Amino acid sequence: MVAAASVVVALGMAAGVLTALGDGDDGDGPSGADRARPKVSATLLAPSTAPSPSLSGSPSASAPTARPTPSPSRTARRPQAAAVTTSLYRHPESQVLDWVRANPADPRTAVIESRIASRPAAVWFTEYAPDTIASRVRAVTAGAARQGRVPVLVAYAIPDRDCGGASEGGAPDLDAYAGWIDGFAAGLGSGEVVVVLEPDSIAQTDCLDEAGRADRLAALARAGRVLKAADPKARVYYDAGHSGWNDPAAQAALLKQAGAASAASSDGIFSNVSNFHRTADEVAYDRRVLDALGGPPGLGAVIDTSRNGNGPPTGGEWCDPDGRSIGRAPTFRTGEARIDAYLWVKLPGESDGCKGAAGEFSPSYAYELASS
């Protein structure tokens, strides 16, 4: 299945504020036909200037063919130890917060504020700006540390990201990317942080030749080692696509080459970033990937639940499909073995490009997701 993520919007950086987290409705149930494109969409700020295309799932490439949904794994592995800090961090700058502050009298504001804007979401770093990446990361991690909360950061600057689709961009080459990762790592500080490392970078490698694929996977392995060496409390997760994409064994083989089975570089995998697949399907899929991956027993998975409350649409629609809903609220308390967290990596309401410009906040879409 070809991957694609929406466009990330670069907003500006600032210090942080907090938010409490709780569990929300999931709406999980039997899933329909799976033809949704893997979408990673823009969530929160990152760079500094105006909107710039980035992110893995994008409105490009032809619709992929469906793959069967994997069945749950019955082999339970010891879940990763709970974090010392159990509350996620909400950065005080995002498009949804900007809209809520600017539109207090809008009849949709109360619903959007309570069900979306109040939730902690990931902060994306998508711009190749090596001179400022450390300070921009540090602004987020320092804000989180002041509140005793855990930030979720998305590193998204791998060369040839999105295979030249709508989210193309990133570092000019892998040597430059290594320097960018070094700067990213320098901003982590010494506290707890979750790093979602390069959405779609492993599941979507069809556009690379064999040598290019091997080079990318080696670069990702190095990135994980650098991040964890810089901050031993950092938890780094690698791209597993989602339950409707690659076969678990095939995905695990790629993940292993990228260092995801090594405790020196990895805490496990992430799935469903900017997509719509039901949490139950992702839990089953992620466990199968982890089984095939091997590695230390503490490896776990995190799942993007931001828009999966009603499951995936039928017919392969991926661009702001109707009838979707927000999923479970972000939390470390999943109650599921080997599932470390449910996260909002894609901020609900940021468009895939059909109900607004790609990566930009659409209040009508946000309201639809929050009230479904």
**How many whole angstroms separate alpha carbon 311 and alpha carbon 31?**
6
Query: Which single residue is written with the structure tokens 């990763």?
Result: 80
* pLDDT class of 86 with cuts at 50, 70, 90: low
Listed in sequence order, the DSSP H helices in the chain are 95-102, 109-112, 133-147, 174-186, 210-230, 248-257, 279-293, 363-371
Q: Is the confidence at residue 256, as pLDDT, over 50?
A: yes
Instruction: Decide if 222 contacts 179 (C-beta within 8 A).
Output: no
Taking the CA atoms of 99, 105, 111 and 117 in sequence, report the sign of the dihedral they define: positive
How large is the average pLDDT for residues 107-123?
97
User: What is the full DSSP assignment across 6-75?
Assistant: -PPPP-------------------------PPP-----S--SSSS-----SS-S-SPPPPP-PPPPPP--
Q: How many C-beta atoms lie closer than 10 Å to residue 314's C-beta?
A: 14
pLDDT at 175: 98
**How many whole angstroms separate alpha carbon 39 and alpha carbon 24?**
22
Catalytic residues: 162, 200, 352
Q: Which three-class secondary structure state does DSSP give residue 362?
A: coil
Q: Is the confidence at residue 288, as pLDDT, over 90?
A: yes
Q: Is the confidence at residue 159, as pLDDT, over 50?
A: yes
- 187-223 tens-digit pLDDT: 999 999 999 999 999 999 989 999 999 999 999 999 9
Mean pLDDT of the chain: 82
- In one-letter notation, the amino acid at residue 28 is D
- In one-letter notation, the amino acid at residue 50 is A
- pLDDT over 70 for what percent of the chain? 77
The mean-pLDDT minimum among 9-13, 42-46, 141-145, 263-267 falls in: 9-13
pTM for the complete prediction?
0.81
Q: Is the confidence at residue 26, as pLDDT, over 70?
A: no
